[in-house]
Structure 1
Amino acid sequence: MGYAMVMGEALIDLLEADAGGEQIYKQAIGGAPLNVAVGVARLGGEVTYAGSLSNDVLGDRISAFIRNAGVNERGIRRVTAPTTLAVTTFEGAEPTFTFYGEPPSYALLTPDDLDETTVADAKVLYTGSICLLREPFRSAARKAWQTPGPLKVFDPNVRPTLLPDAAAIKALQTLVEEFFTTADLVKLSQADATILYDEPDPAVAAERIRAVGAKAVVVTCGSKGAYIAAQDGGVMLPAPAVAAIDATGAGDSVMGALIRRLLDEGRPGSLADWQRHVRFALAVAGLVCERPGGATAMPTAPELTTRWGALL
C-alpha cells in the first residue's frame, strides 16, 4: 500500500461554544494538514507528518495526539515559538478562523529538516494550506514537491483573514498555481475558488485549474456535494444528508479519504474511478459534520460502516 507524507500546519483551535449561556472557547487540536494526516491514519492508512511544533505544553499535547492517532512523527521539528492559536467562530456550522502567534509555530520547518529518502519513498505527498504563506516552510514544501516519485496532492485551503487585499489574493493565486501545475489532484472548496478566481461555479473553476496542469480537481460545495473534473470529463456528486453541527475539518476529511484511496489503488484512470473515491470521501465528511471539532472528529472505517453501511 505504501505511505503518505503530509506536510503543513498543526495548531490549537479555540472553538466558540456556549456553556449555560456563557460564551467560552474550547481547546481542540487542529490545522488542516494535521486533520488530513489524522484522517488518513484513522481510515487505516500509513502516514508520516512533516511540520514544526512548539516545544511548549500545547506542542507536547499535539505531539501526543499525533502519536496516539497512529501518525508517524519522524518529520516533525520542535521549535521555541509558542503554539499558534486559531480562534474559531461560527455562522451556523461553518467556521471562521483568526490566527494568533508570531512567528507562527507551524511554519518553521526548513528544507534541511526534510529527509529526502522519506519524501521520495512516499506513495502520496500532500501539502498546501496557510503554512505556504510563510518561510521557511514554503521553501521546504517546494523542495519536497520537486522530488520525483510520490503522487502529488494539494489543497490551497484559503483563509480570508490572512489575505488583507487584492494584491495578497493575487500573490496567493500565483503561489498555488505553481503547485497546481504538477499536481495529480487538487482539492479545494467552492469558497476557495471564489476567492482565488472570483468564480463561484465549481465546474468553471475546476477546468481553469486543470488548464494550469492539474490532472484532476475536486471542488467541495458543502451540503451540495462535490464537483469532479478529470481528463475524461466532469460531474457533480451529491453529498449524503446529515444533521451538521460543525463543519470544521470536513474538507480536510475529504482529502484524507481521497489520499487513503490513492494509497490503496494509485491514481484513478477515469472519471468513474474518481466518482467512486469522492462518493466515499463525502460519506466520511458527512460523519465529520455530525461531530464537534477538527482532527478529533475524523472517523475510523468501522464507524463509517456503522453510519453508512458498506461504502464503495
Structure 2
Amino acid sequence: AEDLSANTNGKSADNNSIVVCFGELLIDFVPTVGGVSLAEAPAFKKAPGGAPANVAVGVARLGGSSAFIGKVGDDEFGHMLADILRQNNVDISGMRFDHSARTALAFVTLRADGEREFLFFRHPSADMRLHESELDINLIKQAKIFHYGSISLIEEPCKSAHLAAMNIAKRSGSILSYDPNLRLPLWPSSEAARTGIMSIWDQADLIKVSEDEIKFLTGGDDPYDDNVVMKKLYHPNLKLLVVTEGSEGCRYYTKAFKGRVPGI
C-alpha cells in the first residue's frame, strides 16, 4: 500500500484539536433524476461518499482540523477521492492505496415511495483490506476526537485495524465518537449487524444514531421514547447520545440532562 504522508496538501495534524476520522471512502453513483429506482434511472452521476470521510470534510469546512484514515484502490477513483480530501484541507497522511483491490462503489437512490435503495460493489474493495500494520499510529495519538462507524467492523483485516485504532486513541486520551451508520445489505445478516454494531457500543464517549437505527438496535421499540433510549442505548461511560431526526433536528441525552435542537 502506498503512503501519502509525503504530500498531504491539507491542514497539519500537529495540533491539539484534530478530529481523526477512520473508515470507508468510496464513490456514490446517484441517478440524474429523482424519485426513481436504480433500475429506472436513465443515468448516474458520481459523487464522493463514505460517512467517516464526510465528517472529516465537514469539520474542515467549518474551520476545524481533520484527518482521514482509510484505504482506497490505486485507481482513478481512489486518486480522485484523495484529491478531493486534499482540496478540502483534510489531512490524508493516514490514507493508503491498495494495488490489488478497487475503490468501493455504491449506487444509491431515493425512490418515489420514500425508501432508499442501495447496491454496493465491495468484493472485496480496498477499504476492507486496511491492515493494522498500515495504521498511522502517531496521527491517531494526536486525535482530540477519534470518529468511526461500523462498516469497517464487517470484514477482516479492516475489523482488526479498526479495533486497534480505537484502542490506541482511547489510551491516548481521545474522545471516541461513534456513528453506527447502519447499512444492512453489507452485513451477512440482521443479527450479525446488530451484534457487530453493539460490540463496541460501550466504548464510545459520543454516539450519534438515527430513529431507524434505534428501532433496529432495540428490536422495534419506539425511537421517540426517552425511556427506551436511556435504558437500552445509554451506557455508563457515555458522555453524549444524539438522536438525529432528519430535517426536524435532533435530540440529545447526557447523564444529567436532555434536550432537543430543531432543524435549521
Scaled by the length of structure 2, what TM-score is found? 0.82
Are residues 1:38 and 2:57 paired? yes
Partner of residue 44 from structure 2, selected from 1, 5, 25: 25
Matches within 5 A, 1:203-282: 203-207=226-230, 208-211=232-235, 213-240=237-264
Gaps of 5+ in 2: 1-15, 35-39
Give the structure 1 partner of residue 102 of structure 2.
Answer: 82
Matches within 5 A, 1:1-312: 1-18=16-33, 23-79=42-98, 80-91=100-111, 95-147=116-168, 148=171, 149-163=173-187, 168-197=189-218, 198-202=220-224, 203-207=226-230, 208-211=232-235, 213-240=237-264
SS in structure 2 of the partner of residue 2 of structure 1: coil
Give the conservation status (yes or no) of the 8 Å contact 1:191–1:200: no
- Alignment partners' CA distance in 2, 1:194 and 1:217: 15
- Alignment partners' CA distance in 1, 2:250 and 2:79: 36
Deviation at 1:163, TM superposition (A): 4.0
- Amino acid aligned to 1:108: R
CA deviation string 1:248-303 (max 9, x = no partner): xxxxxxxxxxxxxxxxxxxxxxxxxxxxxxxxxxxxxxxxxxxxxxxxxxxxxxxx
Deviation at 1:212, TM superposition (A): 6.3
Structure 1 vs Structure 2 CA RMSD: 2.1
Deviation at 1:173, TM superposition (A): 2.5
Paired positions, count: 236
- Amino acid aligned to 2:179: D
* CA shift in 2, pair 1:205/1:71, >3 Å: farther
Deviation at 1:205, TM superposition (A): 4.8
- Amino acid aligned to 1:116: I
Deviation at 1:72, TM superposition (A): 0.6
Deviation at 1:122, TM superposition (A): 1.1
Q: Which has the higher helix share?
A: 1
SS in structure 2 of the partner of residue 157 of structure 1: coil
* CA shift in 2, pair 1:94/1:49, >3 Å: farther
- Amino acid aligned to 2:223: D
- Alignment partners' CA distance in 2, 1:158 and 1:204: 22
Give the conservation status (yes or no) of the 8 Å contact 1:169–1:196: no
CA deviation string 1:219-265 (max 9, x = no partner): 1011222111111122233213xxxxxxxxxxxxxxxxxxxxxxxxx
Gaps of 5+ in 1: 241-312
- Alignment partners' CA distance in 2, 1:104 and 1:86: 11
Deviation at 1:161, TM superposition (A): 2.2
Give the conservation status (yes or no) of the 8 Å contact 1:54–1:83: yes
SS in structure 2 of the partner of residue 231 of structure 1: coil
* Deviates most, 226-235 or 55-64: 226-235
- Alignment partners' CA distance in 2, 1:59 and 1:237: 37
Deviation at 1:204, TM superposition (A): 4.2
Give the conservation status (yes or no) of the 8 Å contact 2:72–2:104: no
Give the structure 2 partner of residue 279 of structure 1.
Answer: none
- Amino acid aligned to 2:229: A
- Alignment partners' CA distance in 2, 1:104 and 1:62: 14
* CA shift in 2, pair 1:70/1:94, >3 Å: farther
